[in-house]
Structure 1
Amino acid sequence: MKMLINGAERVVADALRGMAEAHPGLAVDVDNRVITRSDAPVADKVALVSGGGSGHEPLHGGFVGPGMLDAACPGEVFTSPVPDQILRAATSVHGGRGVLFVVKNYTGDVLNFDMAAELAEDEGIEVAKVLVQDDVAVTDSLYTAGRRGTGGTLFVEKLAGAAAEEGAPLDRVAGLARRVADSSRSFGVALGAPSTPAKGGPTFDLPAGELEFGIGIHGEPGRERRAMTGAAEIADVSVAAVLDDLKPTGPLLVLVNGMGGTPLLELYGFHAEVRRALRERGAEVARTLVGNYVTSLDMAGCSVTVCQVDEELLRLWDAPVSTPALRWGR
């Protein structure tokens, strides 16, 4: 496999150095692996901190900035950040009104963010946590007890980030984040396996003529493998999976997400089929986002995430945001 890197042991540090050069609105601590808003800490504002293994960019570092996260902690590739790293992020952005940890449901992330929360509270920082577990494909996996956290994380970070930017208190921001997490569902499809820098090749074998429904963002097994088929059938299966589980009664935010190795030409075509499938099931779409937002290195594939919203959540979605990967209203 050919990769644009200097070596597997340097890939995360090199990426952080590149982020620092590209985005002056971020403060990037390469040695300690912490990305913060350059204006942090913001006084009298709830701070949002998230993180996880590298390889899912732009999640989470690409979502740091006004209207979203105050800090992100990138771990090694597909590996949780460590508690000291998370604590450093929390203390760096704490503005006096507490910190909300947004945690994807993977065992290492949950344990390390829990430990960091205890350490932060020992230092007098009030911490609340929200666990994102939106993947309907499987209940337990190689990395989790319960459902995996995937595309719904973006919705939680954006909507809770907007509420925090408006000055909402910690209990309100945390409650809203949990409501968004509870209202989000995701389903992913792999057309090919990701290649990690350490391995230098595919992490699992997926024959050329097959796809896998329900794959995880680390390449965890899904529900089933089938012969490769067209975008219409893939959309039908994905939309049915999320809607049958959520059973929405109101308008939806929809994320059609690329897994890192699928071009926008294909994603927009797939989005057309997703919208058709949603219309056929009577679902109302309020807002849509299409692109590579929650990726798995160079995996070919896609995922569909929906979140049921009301007028308040739509207003928060439309609120200004200024991050490297998500930007509007400013």
Structure 2
Amino acid sequence: MKKIINDVQNIVQDMLHGFYFEHSDRISYNKDYNIIYQKDLSEIEQDVVIISGGGSGHEPADIGYVGKGMLSAAVNGEIFTPPSPEQIVAAVRSVPKDKSILLIIKNFKADVESFLTAESLAKQEGRRIDHVIVHDDVSIEDDASFNKRRRGVAGTIFVHKILGAAALEGHSLQQLTDIGHFVIRNLHTLGVALSPATNPTQDNVSFTLQDNEVFYGVGIHGEKGYRKEILSSSEKLAIELMNKLKSIYRWKKGDKFAILINGLGATPLMEQYIFANDIRRLCELEGLDIRVVKVGTHLTSLDMQGASLSLLKIEDPLWEKWLKADVKVASW
């Protein structure tokens, strides 16, 4: 396993220092707590500051979305490990006390526990703080129960964008929380892997695939999917994911959607755009009105080869406006 790294124990710090080196004109970096901040956070004008984060290994999430119009801070844990409550509280304490704070949390047990513990501590210190939990993954367990996993995955980026733009317009903490819940109810994601992620801090991978196999429904930490099959074409992948999402939305012609096509870490843009073209054709066949399309590497699983498809049914025209709003971040 070849990696461009130095000491495996310093991977996250080295990565964050490198990111700061590129973007120091717009961000600040707290190396003691592994936090990337919007520069001049003490002078921020909006009433509500948005903080997110999670384990490292998913870049550009969440550091790539720190800046005016999206996140005010991203708190980074070790690879596939959420930040500690102490790290999150440190991010909260960096925010002026007259500001409210909204936490955007991905729905993994350890992440939820860490962020909610930090929220409780912040409330004890008198902070106005609330949260939303993103659970866009709708893959199913590989057994007869057909339980949806409901992990927080690539669709989280749409939540960052919409709530970031709404906060910039002056919406209150309660309004942003309500908007977040409404968006999340209409947001669903499915992914497919062509190869597992190789974690440099571990000696093994979480699943194996033959050279000609794909795995539907994998998670961003290497969680196993719901079905393996032989890879035949990009079109076949698109049909599988769209059919699963159609069974959830039960859409009708003319329904408005935003689409996020996301590379999982090692998927070339050429392949992402071929997949996007297949999704385009299926949307046309279904008569869907696609208002926003984003294609690229947005939330990864280290070097996993594969892609995810996120659909957001646009139930409020403001969502489209906020998704299209200008933003000053590294990776939108």
Q: TM-score, normalised by structure 1?
A: 0.94
Q: Residue 203 and residue 223 in structure 1: after superposition, are their counterparts in 2 closer, same or farther (change >3 A)? A: closer
Cα distance in 1 for partners of 2:259, 2:7 equals 37
Matches of 1:48 and 1:248 in 2, distance apart? 32
Q: Deviations along 1:235-289, whole A, 9 cap, x unmatched?
A: 0011112222123463111001000000001100110001111222222210100
SS of alignment partner, residue 268 of structure 1: helix
Alignment partner, residue 328 of structure 2: 322
Cα distance in 2 for residues equivalent to 1:30 and 1:139: 39
**Structure 2 counterpart of 1:4:** 4
| Residue 162 of structure 1: aligned partner | 165
* Structure 2 residue 234 is matched with structure 1 residue 234: no
Using the TM superposition, give the Cα deviation of residue 189 of structure 1 relative to its aligned residue in structure 2, in angstroms: 0.1
Asked if structure 2 preserves the Cα contact closer than 8 Å seen for 1:36 and 1:93, the reply is no
Q: Which amino acid aligns with 2:298?
A: Y
C-alpha contact (below 8 Å) 1:94/1:125 kept by paired residues: no
Farther-moved stretch of structure 1 (69-78 vs 28-37) = 28-37
Q: Deviations over 1:185-226 (max 9, x none)?
A: 000000001111112564421111211011111111111000
Query: Please, which moves more after superposition, 159-168 or 87-96?
Result: 87-96
Distance in 2 (CA, whole Å) between partners of 1:156 and 1:2 is 34
Structure 1 residues 217 and 94, CA, compared in 2 at 3 Å: closer, same or farther? farther
Q: In structure 2, do the counterparts of structure 1 residues 304 and 94 end up closer, same or farther at CA, with 3 Å as the change threshold?
A: farther
- CA deviations 1:287-316 (Å, max 9, x no partner) are 100000010000000000010113111111
Which structure 2 residue ranges, 5 or more long, are not aligned?
none
Task: Give the superposed CA RMSD.
Answer: 1.8
Shift in Å at residue 39 of structure 1?
1.8
Structure 1 residue matching 2:41: 3-state secondary structure: coil
Give the 3-state SS of the residue equivalent to 2:120 in structure 1.
helix
Matched, 1:243 2:246: yes
In 2, are the aligned partners of 1:75 and 1:82 still within 8 Å (CA)? yes
Residue type of the alignment partner of 1:114: L
Query: Is 1:253–1:306's contact at 8 Å kept on the other side of the alignment?
Result: yes
Q: Match for residue 259 of structure 2?
A: 254
Q: How many angstroms apart in 2 are the aligned matches of 1:139 and 1:92? A: 40
**Amino acid corresponding to residue 284 of structure 1 in structure 2:** D
Pairing 1:34–2:35 present: yes
In the superposition, the TM-score normalised over structure 2's length comes to 0.94
Question: What is the Cα deviation at residue 44 of structure 1?
Answer: 4.7
Is contact 1:259–1:303 with CA below 8 Å preserved after alignment? yes
Distance across 2 between alignment mates of 1:74 and 1:163: 24
Q: How does 1:98-113 map to 2 (within 5 A)?
A: 98-113=100-115
- Aligned pairs for 1:56-205 (under 5 A) are 56-94=58-96, 96-138=98-140, 146-199=149-202, 202-205=205-208
CA contact (8 A) 1:139 1:147 kept: no
Which amino acid counterpart does residue 90 of structure 1 have in structure 2? Answer: V
- Aligned partner of residue 62 in structure 1, secondary structure: helix
Cα distance change on mapping 1:23 and 1:293 into 2, 3 Å: same
CA gap of 1:175–1:59, structure 2 versus 1, over 3 A, is same
Q: Does 1:304 align with 2:309?
A: yes
Report if aligned partners of 1:55, 1:295 keep a CA contact under 8 Å in 2: yes
- Tell me the secondary structure at the aligned position of residue 93 of structure 1: coil
Question: Helix, strand or coil for the counterpart of 1:206?
Answer: coil
Which sits farther off after the overlay, 297-306 or 204-213? 204-213
Q: What is the rounded CA distance, in whole Å, between the counterparts of 1:325 and 1:51 in structure 2?
A: 15
Is the contact made by 1:193 and 1:219 (CA closer than 8 Å) also made in structure 2? yes
2:293 to 283, 288, 291: 288
SS at 1:305 equivalent: strand
Task: Give the fraction of aligned pairs with identical amino acids, expressed as a percent.
Answer: 35
| Mapped contact 2:35–2:73 kept (Cα < 8 A) | yes
1:52 aligns with 2:49: no
Q: Does 1:313 align with 2:292?
A: no
Q: Which deviates the most, 98-107 or 40-49?
A: 40-49
